[in-house]
Chain A
Amino acid sequence: MSKPENSEATTHFGYQEVPVAEKEQRVGDVFRSVAARYDVMNDIMSLGSHRLIKRYTIELSALRAGHKVLDLAGGTGDFSLQFSEIVGPSGQVILADINEAMLSVGRDRIIDKGMSGNIEVAQVNAEYLPFADNTFDCVCIAYGLRNVTDKEAALKSIQRVLKPGGRLLILEFSKPTNAIIGKSYDAFSKLWPIAGKLITGDADSYRYLVESIRMHPDQETLKQMMEDADLINCKYHNVMSGICAIHIGFKSH
Chain B
Amino acid sequence: MNQLLGSTALWPIEFALNQLIKSDQHLQSIVQKFDDQLLEIHTTTPTAFICIHFNNGIRLSAISSDDLGVTPTARVSSKATSLLRLLLTTSDSAALSNPEIEISGDAQFVHAIFQSLKNLDLRWDDLLAPWLGDLSTHLAKTSSDSIRQWSAQSKTSISATLSDYLRQESGLLPARGQLDQFNSAMDDLKLRIDRAKARIERLNSHV
A residues contacting B by CB (< 8 A) are: 52-53, 55-56, 59-60, 62, 64-65, 85-86, 88, 167, 233, 237-241, 250
Contacts and interface: CB of A to CB of B under 8 A. Distances in A.
A209 to B, nearest CB: 22
B69 A62 contact: yes
Contacts of B4: 52-53, 56, 239-240
Contacts of B154: none
Interface in B21-65: 35-36, 53, 55-56, 59, 61-63
A191 to B, nearest CB: 24
B56 A60 contact: no
8 contacts: A53-B4, A55-B8, A56-B3, A59-B63, A60-B68, A62-B70, A86-B55, A239-B1
Contacts of A239: 1, 4
B203 to A, nearest CB: 68
A52 B56 contact: no
B11 interface: yes
Nearest to A235: B67
Given A55-B8, A233-B69, 10 more contacts: A52-B7, A52-B8, A55-B11, A60-B68, A62-B68, A64-B55, A65-B35, A65-B55, A86-B59, A167-B69
A64 B56 contact: no
Q: Which 5 A-B pairs give the minimum distances between C-beta atoms? A: A62-B68, A59-B61, A56-B7, A52-B8, A56-B4
Nearest to A89: B56
Interface of B: 1, 3-4, 7-8, 11, 35-36, 53, 55-56, 59, 61-63, 67-70
A65 B36 contact: yes
B11 A85 contact: no
Nearest to A239: B4
A241 B1 contact: yes
Nearest to B65: A62
Contacts of A64: 36, 53, 55
A61 to B, nearest CB: 9
Nearest to B56: A88
A85 B1 CA distance: 26
A52 B11 contact: yes
B36 to A, nearest CB: 6
Given A59-B61, A59-B63, A60-B68, A85 B56 contact: yes
Of listed B4, B11, B55, B69, residue having the most chain A CB within 10 A: B4
Contacts of A62: 68-70
Nearest to B7: A56
Contacts of B7: 52, 55-56, 59
Nearest to A66: B36
A65 B63 contact: no
A233 B11 CA distance: 28
Contacts of B35: 65
Given A52-B8, A240-B1, A241-B1, A60 B63 contact: yes
A237 B7 CA distance: 14
A144 B7 CA distance: 23
A62 B61 CA distance: 10
Given A56-B4, A65-B35, A65-B36, A250 B69 contact: yes
A85 B69 CA distance: 21
Given A52-B7, A55-B11, A59-B61, A88 B55 contact: yes
